[in-house]
A and B are shown apart, each in its own frame.
Chain A
Amino acid sequence: MEDELSFSDICGGRLALQRRYYSPTCREFCLSCPRLSLRSLTAVTCSVWLAAYGLFTLCENSMILSAAIFIILLGLLGYLHFVKIDQETLLIIDSLGIQMTSSYASGKESTTFIEMGKVKDIIINEAIYMQKVIYYLCILLKDPVEPHGISQVVPVFQSAKPRLDCLIEVYRSCQEILAHQKATSTSP
């Protein structure tokens, strides 16, 4: 089962949430951010070029122009490879674990897998971000020493920053699986 919903992030940008229900025990949520727009790319390139031409007319040194080309190329590569995240995926598998994948615009993927034994709960939390209060989904990890304590809080969908309505959708599905997990692991 697969469906796609449209939400907006905290700044009002469009986000697409894809839900894939592989089985009752395995669900995947995929949040896609908007792609790099041509307009912003053109604006950045033009501004760098104008600055470079301004300097060039002042200093009359053609090194500045070639430096501008390199700066734009390297900056774009670095932005696509290390900064711009296109898609964030949360895969939750009952009794196995939770996997978070963020795929960058260049195709690089970074994955974190948290085993179910370490997960204490999944919650929605409030945080102060810049001048506003935002909500975010996070995974609480168990402290290995103290069973009731929390050792770490892992935020999910860190770059997409969806609004509360989207988070509630994901939260409900995750809680269903967690409840199922708790029910089956305690009964035998």
Chain B
Amino acid sequence: MVFKVFFPTCCTSADSGLLVGRWVPEQSSAVVLAVVHFPFIPIQVKELLTQVQQASHVGVTVLGTWCHRRQGPEEGLGRFLEGLGTIFSHDPWLQLCRQRGGTSWSCKAVGQPMSPGVPSDDQVLLVFYDQRQVLLSQLHPPTVLPDRQAGDAPASAGGLAAVFDTVARSEVLFRSDRFDEGPVRLSHWQSEGVEASILVELAKQAAGPTCMLVSWLLSLLSAVSTCRLFRLWPLSFICSKLSTCEQVRHRLGHLSLLFSIQGAETPAQLMRKANVFVSVLLDVALGLMLLAWLHGKDHIGQLADTLVPVADRVAEGLQHLLQWLMGAPAGLKMNRALDQVLGRFFLYHIHLWISYIHLMSPFIERILWHVGLSACLGLTVALSLLSDIIALLTFHIYCFYVYGARLYYLKIYGLSSLWRLFRGKKWNVLRQRVDSCSYDLDQLFIGTLLFTILVFLLPTTALYYLVFTLLRLLVVTVQGSLHLLVDLINSLPLYSVGLRLCRPYRLAAGVKFRVLGHEAGKPLRLLMQINPLPYSRVVHTYRLPSCGCHPKLSWSSLCRKLFFGELIYPWRQKSCKQD
């Protein structure tokens, strides 16, 4: 098997010394973590390594020697380095050497006479990796099973995941920064010293009590909302129908997740928290902007002034439509009597609606002002409220739709059962199937008569049904797009997307290699880079769950329902109960 050495790029210019790292025997690869410089005392190095081993549960050992020749060949140093192999015994003992020019590398692995696979120079792969990026990156999908304890040996993590795991676990080794003076001088990826800011420290101190307070308030709020008064029939029913209530409940869940006292344990949980936080923050910021726009320059008054005429105009348009339907719409000849009855019925309804709106009109500005205040809870709440207002203002269209659909449904139902009679069959309820049946002459006569009547009345009903269904679909589309927008704000993982944008190596889909160059007789050098996760997978992996209050309707089932006159989305349950 080819012998692989993973070497951090930050150590390429380090002085000569010892290589410290982990040996993965099953893949015959050595992961170099740091270089120990001369002078050192072997006992102290061994002590340090045992400390790191205990803290990180990674078998960190001395792997070999590192020799950086700045001047000409030094015979003495070479022999000295070979001698070190007897102090720190390791099998195989690595001898990594870099010539002065910087491009010429050599690597020898001296093994005990263990196997025929003692690698020659050609059989060694030198893979450079950026220690910081590998340390901070998070492989997707996570290879280590979630139920595994952190203390277990990472034996099962295969291939490159083992390298990532090793580097991530030996964070203890990298903790010392550039200005630390220890007994052993190490060279590895180092931070530029820990920066301390008084604001950050204050925020850290304040975070605990704030979380406690807010979570207590939230628990109080949830206790109030579960009290008995709100379980009474009309309130709970209305709450389950209004999308605003759903949205507020959803946001409350988010807030209680954010301010929960126990911290996030896994990276996925942490990412979820951060995503929720950014989503809430963005939501509130957009809501505040909306609030500032609404309450500045008397926009609310203008809105209220336009809202009432618009509702009036919609009602007028409906009236015209009905009058058109009561004549000869598109040259069709309707059943005149039924047409007139239906038209008058709907016209009366619109009349009622207009008077209702005129009754409301003095208060609309006040109502809008208060509704506008809800934008400080977030844009999503304001949008859900807008959706609810649209639903309330187009209640007449909904009523028309329900009446039309019911009539049409009855017609279709009657026609289908009479069609069976026509063919000498009937629906057997007990066996849930169609049986043949011999009817009397009278039964057949009456049935045929009714069938004829229904067939001739069907076009009129179907026309009304068609027109009102189209109107209803228009309203549902507007509401649906509002809900889509709300869902987008609710579920978009903005923090992850931002992380992918600014720090692509943090979310890794894998690695990619680049060949740095090869000379005959020298080991092949490769550069290992982090392959960032594509945006689509970032969004897919870290999507927050949305409200989930929408029934999943496929297009075919929707069309089927429309054809048979069954009621569609979203107030289906309500209409069932009323019926």
Q: B-contacting residues of A (Cβ < 8 Å)?
A: 20, 22-26, 28, 91, 93-97, 99, 101, 110-113, 115-118, 181, 184-185, 187-188
Q: How far is the CA of A23 from the CA of B534 in the complex (A)?
A: 32
Known contacts A23-B122, A24-B122, A95 near B159 by CB under 8 Å = no
Closest to B2 in A: A95
Residues of B within 8 A of A118 (CB): 159
CB pair B160–A115 under 8 Å, yes or no, is yes
Residues of B within 8 A of A91 (CB): 513, 515
Between A and B, 25 residue pairs with Cβ closer than 8 Å are A20-B515, A22-B518, A22-B524, A24-B122, A25-B2, A25-B123, A25-B125, A25-B524, A91-B513, A93-B526, A94-B2, A95-B2, A96-B513, A97-B160, A97-B513, A111-B531, A112-B510, A113-B513, A113-B531, A115-B160, A116-B159, A117-B159, A181-B1, A184-B1, A187-B116
CB pair B158–A96 under 8 Å, yes or no, is no
Residues of A within 8 A of B515 (CB): 20, 22, 26, 28, 91
Residues of A within 8 A of B537 (CB): none
CB pair B513–A115 under 8 Å, yes or no, is no
Residues of B within 8 A of A26 (CB): 125, 515, 518, 524, 526
Closest to A91 in B: B513
Q: How far is the CA of A26 from the CA of B4 in the complex (A)?
A: 13
B115 at the interface (CB under 8 A from A): yes
B511 at the interface (CB under 8 A from A): yes
Closest to B158 in A: A117
Q: How far is the CA of A96 from the CA of B159 in the complex (A)?
A: 8
Closest to B117 in A: A188
Residues of A within 8 A of B511 (CB): 113
Q: How far is the CA of A181 from the CA of B28 in the complex (A)?
A: 13
Closest to B159 in A: A115
Q: Among the interface residues A23, A26, A110, A185, which one has the most CB atoms of the partner chain B within 10 A?
A: A23
B231 at the interface (CB under 8 A from A): no
Which residues 475-534 of B have a CB within 8 angstroms of A? 510-513, 515, 518, 524, 526, 531, 534
CB pair A115–B158 under 8 Å, yes or no, is yes
Contacts beyond the supplied A25-B524, A93-B513, A96-B4: 6 A-B pairs with Cβ under 8 Å: A97-B513, A99-B513, A101-B512, A113-B513, A115-B159, A187-B116
CB pair A113–B2 under 8 Å, yes or no, is no
Q: Among the interface residues A101, A112, A113, A117, which one has the most CB atoms of the partner chain B within 10 A?
A: A113
Closest to A144 in B: B158
Query: Which of the residues B27, B115, B158, B159 comes within 8 Å of A188, measured between beta carbons?
Result: B115
Known contacts A24-B122, A187-B116, A95 near B1 by CB under 8 Å = yes
Residues of B within 8 A of A188 (CB): 1, 115-117
Q: How far is the CA of A116 from the CA of B513 in the complex (A)?
A: 14
Residues of A within 8 A of B123 (CB): 25
**Smallest CB–CB gap between A141 and chain B, Å?**
13
CB pair B524–A185 under 8 Å, yes or no, is no
Interface pairs A-B: 7 shortest CB-CB: A115-B159, A111-B512, A95-B2, A22-B518, A23-B524, A184-B1, A113-B510
Residues of B within 8 A of A99 (CB): 512-513
CB pair B1–A23 under 8 Å, yes or no, is no
Residues of B within 8 A of A28 (CB): 515
**Smallest CB–CB gap between A59 and chain B, Å?**
28
A-B pairs with CB below 8 Å: how many? 71
Q: How far is the CA of A187 from the CA of B28 in the complex (A)?
A: 13
Interface size class of B (residues with CB under 8 A): 20 to 34
Which residues 15-39 of B have a CB within 8 angstroms of A? 27-28
Residues of A within 8 A of B531 (CB): 111-113
Residues of B within 8 A of A22 (CB): 515, 518, 524
CB pair A93–B512 under 8 Å, yes or no, is no
CB pair B512–A113 under 8 Å, yes or no, is yes
Which residues 30-86 of B have a CB within 8 angstroms of A? none
**Smallest CB–CB gap between B173 and chain A, Å?**
25
Q: How far is the CA of A96 from the CA of B510 in the complex (A)?
A: 13
Closest to A112 in B: B510
CB pair A93–B1 under 8 Å, yes or no, is no
CB pair B2–A184 under 8 Å, yes or no, is yes
CB pair B4–A95 under 8 Å, yes or no, is yes
CB pair B518–A23 under 8 Å, yes or no, is yes
CB pair A187–B117 under 8 Å, yes or no, is yes
Closest to A114 in B: B510
Q: How far is the CA of A187 from the CA of B116 in the complex (A)?
A: 9
**Smallest CB–CB gap between A66 and chain B, Å?**
27
Residues of A within 8 A of B158 (CB): 115, 117
Q: How far is the CA of A171 from the CA of B570 in the complex (A)?
A: 58
Q: How far is the CA of A96 from the CA of B4 in the complex (A)?
A: 9
**Smallest CB–CB gap between A25 and chain B, Å?**
5
Residues of A within 8 A of B117 (CB): 184, 187-188
Q: How far is the CA of A94 from the CA of B524 in the complex (A)?
A: 11
CB pair A185–B1 under 8 Å, yes or no, is yes
Residues of A within 8 A of B115 (CB): 188
**Smallest CB–CB gap between A107 and chain B, Å?**
16
CB pair B524–A96 under 8 Å, yes or no, is no
**Smallest CB–CB gap between A165 and chain B, Å?**
26
Residues of B within 8 A of A96 (CB): 2, 4, 125, 127, 513, 526
**Smallest CB–CB gap between A182 and chain B, Å?**
10
Residues of A within 8 A of B127 (CB): 96
The 0/1 profile, CB within 8 Å of A marked 1, for residues 376-403 of chain B is: 0000000000000000000000000000
Residues of A within 8 A of B159 (CB): 97, 115-118
Closest to B28 in A: A95
Residues of B within 8 A of A95 (CB): 1-2, 4, 27-28, 125
Q: How far is the CA of A95 from the CA of B123 in the complex (A)?
A: 11
Which residues 330-371 of B have a CB within 8 angstroms of A? none
**Smallest CB–CB gap between A10 and chain B, Å?**
28
Closest to B119 in A: A184
Residues of A within 8 A of B518 (CB): 22-23, 26
Residues of A within 8 A of B512 (CB): 99, 101, 111, 113
Closest to A22 in B: B518
Q: How far is the CA of A111 from the CA of B514 in the complex (A)?
A: 11
Q: How far is the CA of A184 from the CA of B511 in the complex (A)?
A: 24
Residues of A within 8 A of B160 (CB): 97, 115
Q: How far is the CA of A12 from the CA of B524 in the complex (A)?
A: 37
Q: How far is the CA of A116 from the CA of B2 in the complex (A)?
A: 12
Q: How far is the CA of A57 from the CA of B573 in the complex (A)?
A: 54
**Smallest CB–CB gap between B567 and chain A, Å?**
41
**Smallest CB–CB gap between A87 and chain B, Å?**
15
Q: How far is the CA of A95 from the CA of B511 in the complex (A)?
A: 15
Residues of B within 8 A of A93 (CB): 125, 513, 526
**Smallest CB–CB gap between B305 and chain A, Å?**
32
Q: Among the interface residues B2, B4, B510, which one has the most CB atoms of the partner chain A within 10 A?
A: B2
Q: How far is the CA of A25 from the CA of B119 in the complex (A)?
A: 13
